[in-house]
Amino acid sequence: MIFLVLSSFFYALNNLLWKRLLSKFDLWLIIALRCLLTIFIGIVIIFLFYPTIFLSLNYSVIINIFVASVFGALGLISMLLALKEGSLTQLGVFNLLIVFLVSSYLFFFENIFLKNYTLASICIIFGFSCYIFQIRKIERAKKKFSFRNFILFTMMSFFFAASSLMHWYSLKQEIPAILSVTFQEIVVFVVVLITFKFQSSLSFHQVYPQIQKIFKPVLFMAIVIFSAIWCGFLGLQYTNPLISSLISLITPVLTIVFGVLFYKDQWNSITIVSLFLISMGVYLINLEYIP
């Protein structure tokens, strides 16, 4: 269980590191360098621990991994575009929404029975509506409300949910998730290279000094995200999926806490009630979800 707790902590820490770097450096350069380092670590792990994995891939599996990676890449880019101006609290709440979207798909299309789904859905929808209303009220008073960020976070939730489901189908065929994660990073890297050329405000001679400044923190971030993935794998070997899914709720909660501690995200009684309802709804879904 300790490995799963560590995994959740590392994922939340990764969100905090993204927020810190995005507020200081060029968005596309950070993504490109992080992806490049993550790809390198992923390739090393694949060849050390899964040297024969490519022999077991067929055309349908490759297509599934590619499509899942595209969705994951779109989700990551949407998240970072929103997080650059948005808050960690918003990210944490929309991470909870991803769990709801995935569970809803399993309930309606995979015939996985969730006894508390109706009650959980009411809690999540009502809590989420209250949260959006309250955040709009707070941020409009501060003249900072951005409808664009909510659209991007919503897109992130749907893209990540679709990616998670497709990776789930790959895992059912005993394809290591590390392969999907590495391939997803390759897709993101290619997209960012193209985007960087047209969107970045940096000229070529400014790139190298920027890389020197961000290399160490981005390398640390790459290590953190793979530590999260690796601890998650180790945790699944010693526990069951039910406990794993419940512990994974630590990630959005910690992300919200980090936002309050490090970025002074504002809370009030309505915000707390909203987060409680959303968390309770997600908890009820996971409580009844036994694959």
pLDDT value at residue 155: 93
Backbone torsion region of residue 122, taken as left when φ is above 0, otherwise alpha when ψ lies between -120 and 50, otherwise beta: alpha
Mean pLDDT over the full length of the chain:
77
Contact indicator for 123, 277 with CB cutoff of 8 Å: yes
Contact indicator for 19, 83 with CB cutoff of 8 Å: yes
> For 48-70, what is each residue's pLDDT tens digit?
888 887 777 788 878 888 888 88
214, pLDDT greater than 80: yes
* CA 179 to each of CA 111, 170, 194, 222, 263: distance values in angstroms, whole numbers, following the listed order: 28, 10, 23, 16, 34
Contact indicator for 41, 220 with CB cutoff of 8 Å: no
pLDDT value at residue 32: 84
**Distance of alpha carbon 217 from the chain centroid:** 19
pLDDT-derived band at 125 (thresholds 50, 70, 90) equals confident
> For 97-121, what is each residue's pLDDT tens digit?
887 887 788 777 776 666 777 888 8
pLDDT value at residue 156: 92
74, pLDDT greater than 80: yes
Mean pLDDT on 28-54? 85
Strands (DSSP E) along the chain, which ranges?
A: none
What residue ranges do the domains of the chain occupy?
2-288
Instruction: Return d(Cα 181, Cα 106) in angstroms, integer.
Output: 22
pLDDT value at residue 198: 63
242, pLDDT greater than 70: no
244, pLDDT greater than 60: no
The whole-model pTM stands at: 0.80
230-253 core/surface letters (b: 16 or more CB in 10 A; e: else)? bbbeebbeeeeeeebbebbbbbbb
* CA 214 to each of CA 33, 82, 84, 147, 209: distance values in angstroms, whole numbers, following the listed order: 9, 21, 16, 30, 9
Mean pLDDT on 218-239? 74
pLDDT value at residue 159: 92
How does DSSP classify residue 57?
-
How does DSSP classify residue 142?
T
> For 140-154, what is each residue's pLDDT tens digit?
555 555 678 888 999
pLDDT value at residue 237: 53
pLDDT-derived band at 290 (thresholds 50, 70, 90) equals very low
